[in-house]
Structure 1
């Protein structure tokens, strides 16, 4: 029974329940192991009413907080108040905390809820924000439901809030420009668009510095063509053979957690028998940073992971000498990606996806060579890899398309040359 004075659920719970209902209705045929999302409109029955109730509740929470902040500010500005330094510091801290930790988040949430009352944008109209509803899942269970908002162009807040007030900003990256673009000026313009330079008052000063590494001599790149990327058994067998050929020091990158777990279960016994420790993100009960630390310390260990390891690994030396992709890392077809593809592609939606995949491959390739004496082998287990994506690899790298057996032989021979 409900206790006197208490409701069965809060407006927030009712709203999240309605969000879940809309997402479930729109994604009934989706895989329950993966996150699900749907557009705001058309709104499902009950969602507008739940949003209105939550909006009213949040306003009733925000307004007294704003009033409290106003009173504290007036107290600090009152010339008749002789406040000690310690008291003044505490009051100023309280004012900032109320604004940043309460009023600002509540105002943002209210803005998102009001979006549900507005008519959907006309097709083709460029929005400032992208809003959608989503369910987050773990091990087949729904663990979160929510209304999400992201900037369509994330460089706008970066440029206006971070770069513009600064005296100067240096943006440097080995993958800043798309080297596959034949027009150098177009490559620079795309780099400036990705960094938000076009939103600043002054133009950027461009500088390109050649790499100090000899990629042609110290790396090899293979695309394995005689296997099916859709067969978990074949992918596992290929990764196992390559890890054994390298004697460890292998990083396997996956575009799906399910395939990662399946391959880990298949190859772990054989690698353990060969004396090669195998660690895996989303399998071992450790965070990514800890897994990378262990991988770095154990020179002959192997590690399986997803995007976070592709972009955030710094393992110089022999501890990382082989990098294997299970397939081309195309962008995931999410609502946010769909909107950015439509409005930020410059009329080239296919080219937008190509550029993302090229940058991801080049970013991953850069994990192999962290200092001048590093050597490494880069392997794609995806026969469908378009040649236009491989053009984004560092200058001097000539990818070879060959069979798995030959890739294993060449990996062994190349890494044996020291």
Structure 2
């Protein structure tokens, strides 16, 4: 297939012979044949999606199903709309391919009709109008086909198939409805290859295979993000505004009119409304008690706190939390008892479905109360924090998800492939094998390097005289360097930060660039991620971003010539999740925090070189990469770029000279 005169070379538009791609495809083919688990790192430019799609199509042609999971929806769409169709055309494959997303991505026609008949706001009218014509043309009902504005995106939940209130049987009896979610699931059952995202894959694992068809093989692309998604999928949270909405939803679903139509429902309906009122009061008590934990005897209030066994045993403020939590759990139990009585009586299907969906959310809240307050497991990490709006959230997460990933994913398939451009740390796969729980069962990990010539294409510059991060003049010196580089390159610079506070501080010092006609695009200030990237591609701009810009940003060619990394991407030391997971290791820093930072640094570096013709410079401003012993691990994890150590005042000129290639 990959031979110079093979079908890909002769029929696939833009195909290049890449030995690394061929090596990866052969390893995946062997894994499918032998069974087991393979961890495979493929550098940028290898074309790993083609490498795993070819053996996937071959397996599917023999009647065996393959599930391909990605972290991001754009990669999912790329596979379904571009890579797989092109391969099928080149190989003459007739394998059925289906894409399946989380239910909130699909329009629910029944809920759309309900909203259309009860529009009360301008925003609702705009969303109904925008979807009216689209409904008649769409085959998938996928919101990705719509360009929803921010407010419309929030309203989408009112018309999406996002919870158990969507009942396909009821839709079949409702004129003019067409359940897109059910159609997508039926297509997946009939498909040889099913493309999903990690969120749905792990939701299916949590629900014991209730969402996806069984498959012999599983390919997990962007596998470096799997643990993060698994943390959410197998975690619990108690969020005050969300809990209040869920309680009010249950009360609203038990309509007064239904009780008037059916007197037998009056008593349990009234009890639900009474219990909801009681639960709302108990919610206030719980979160007031939790909030008191964040107010120390001296000093300013804290934004987050890990709830440890020691705190539970010795802090006198914990007892009110336990008592209030018990009363709230009892109130939710009372609601559940009355809801079960109403369900047994039957009645209006829409009301019952809404009630069932609301009760499912309350059941999750009750589990969070149990695990977070009354009966935590020894493997749980529990913490309290405020969201961006100041509302309190109680979180429960598992310390180690390797066992879950192995049992729910690896053991459930004949063969599983974990692949990404960033899995190894200084050439070692130990960290990845531990995170996936497959150290004892995986085949020898595979690393296929990038086909790019980083020595020729990329220059890594390390300033020798800049202040250390956290010192008084660091931001001032960093901002001055960003200005100098941006002027030298006429923009074309991406600056990556590890905190929003540092980003805003730096942005405030770059006003001179604006007066010179260079746009300073700041995450969190100047628009959405998509809007910032679209504006950046128009040229004469500097883009300042934090976490979400360290990966998934693809700016090839002349658009981007320099990436400035302000600080080594270590996790915040007082992050409760980081603390809890690091404690598993004999040396928490070397075992957890350093490997995590190395992988993030590789992701940030990888924003620069996206094709064989790209070139540019990465400037790493954090001098600790040279002054600390651990710096060697970080540098050894990066591509083999040309590296130079220079004074700060010579960096911009060196970047300009390196990038001046006509």
Q: Deviations over 1:316-362 (max 9, x none)?
A: 2222221112211111121110110011x354533422111111111
Deviates more, 1:38-47 or 1:366-375: 38-47
List gaps (5 residues or longer) in structure 1.
Answer: 76-86, 122-126, 182-186
Q: Provide the rounded CA distance (Å) in 2 between the counterparts of 1:276 and 1:248.
A: 6
State how 1:166-245 maps to structure 2 within 5 Å.
Answer: 166=413, 168-178=415-425, 180-181=426-427, 187-198=428-439, 203-204=442-443, 206-228=445-467, 229=469, 230=471, 231=473, 232-245=475-488
Q: Provide the rounded CA distance (Å) in 1 between the counterparts of 2:386 and 2:619.
A: 34
List gaps (5 residues or longer) in structure 2.
Answer: 1-273
Q: How has the CA–CA distance of structure 1 residues 389 and 347 changed in structure 2, closer, same or farther, with 3 Å as cutoff?
A: closer
Q: How has the CA–CA distance of structure 1 residues 195 and 9 changed in structure 2, closer, same or farther, with 3 Å as cutoff?
A: closer
Deviates more, 1:376-385 or 1:59-68: 59-68
2:656 matched residue in structure 1: 412
2:490 matched residue in structure 1: 247
Matching of residue 278 in structure 1 with residue 546 in structure 2: no
RMSD: 3.2
Counterpart pick for 1:110 among 345, 348, 366: 366
Report how far residue 216 of structure 1 moved.
1.0
2:502 matched residue in structure 1: 259
Counterpart pick for 1:24 among 295, 300, 303: 295
Q: How has the CA–CA distance of structure 1 residues 357 and 237 changed in structure 2, closer, same or farther, with 3 Å as cutoff?
A: same
Helix, strand or coil at the partner of 1:417: coil
Report how far residue 247 of structure 1 moved.
2.0
Counterpart pick for 1:134 among 385, 393, 401: 385
Deviates more, 1:43-52 or 1:152-161: 152-161
1:83 matched residue in structure 2: none
Q: Provide the rounded CA distance (Å) in 1 between the counterparts of 2:646 and 2:598.
A: 21
Q: How has the CA–CA distance of structure 1 residues 160 and 310 changed in structure 2, closer, same or farther, with 3 Å as cutoff?
A: same
2:8 matched residue in structure 1: none
Q: Provide the rounded CA distance (Å) in 1 between the counterparts of 2:340 and 2:299.
A: 45
Q: Provide the rounded CA distance (Å) in 2 between the counterparts of 1:117 and 1:354.
A: 32
Q: Provide the rounded CA distance (Å) in 1 between the counterparts of 2:300 and 2:418.
A: 40
Q: Provide the rounded CA distance (Å) in 2 between the counterparts of 1:94 and 1:157.
A: 34
Report how far residue 367 of structure 1 moved.
0.8
2:530 matched residue in structure 1: 289
Deviates more, 1:206-215 or 1:348-357: 348-357
- Length, aligned pairs only: 372
1:62 matched residue in structure 2: 336
Q: Provide the rounded CA distance (Å) in 2 between the counterparts of 1:189 and 1:226.
A: 35
Report how far residue 389 of structure 1 moved.
4.0
Q: How has the CA–CA distance of structure 1 residues 156 and 302 changed in structure 2, closer, same or farther, with 3 Å as cutoff?
A: farther
State how 1:5-404 maps to structure 2 within 5 Å.
Answer: 10-25=281-296, 29=299, 35-40=303-308, 41-42=311-312, 43=315, 44=317, 46-65=320-339, 101-115=357-371, 118=374, 127-137=378-388, 143-166=390-413, 168-178=415-425, 180-181=426-427, 187-198=428-439, 203-204=442-443, 206-228=445-467, 229=469, 230=471, 231=473, 232-267=475-510, 269-284=511-526, 286-295=527-536, 297-333=537-573, 334-343=575-584, 345=585, 347-385=587-625, 386=628, 387-404=631-648
Contact 1:281 1:306 in 2 (8 A): yes
Q: How has the CA–CA distance of structure 1 residues 337 and 69 changed in structure 2, closer, same or farther, with 3 Å as cutoff?
A: farther
Q: Provide the rounded CA distance (Å) in 1 between the counterparts of 2:539 and 2:415.
A: 41
Higher share in helix: 2
Helix, strand or coil at the partner of 1:303: strand
Contact 1:159 1:197 in 2 (8 A): yes
Q: Provide the rounded CA distance (Å) in 2 between the counterparts of 1:204 and 1:111.
A: 38
Contact 2:403 2:436 in 1 (8 A): no
Q: How has the CA–CA distance of structure 1 residues 188 and 265 changed in structure 2, closer, same or farther, with 3 Å as cutoff?
A: closer
Q: Deviations over 1:259-304 (max 9, x none)?
A: 211211111x3212332211101222x2223222322x22331110
Helix, strand or coil at the partner of 2:335: helix
Q: How has the CA–CA distance of structure 1 residues 7 and 54 changed in structure 2, closer, same or farther, with 3 Å as cutoff?
A: closer
Q: Provide the rounded CA distance (Å) in 1 between the counterparts of 2:421 and 2:642.
A: 18
Report how far residue 215 of structure 1 moved.
0.9
Report how far residue 214 of structure 1 moved.
0.9
Q: Provide the rounded CA distance (Å) in 2 between the counterparts of 1:266 and 1:217.
A: 33
Q: How has the CA–CA distance of structure 1 residues 119 and 103 changed in structure 2, closer, same or farther, with 3 Å as cutoff?
A: closer
Report how far residue 148 of structure 1 moved.
0.7
Contact 1:362 1:392 in 2 (8 A): no
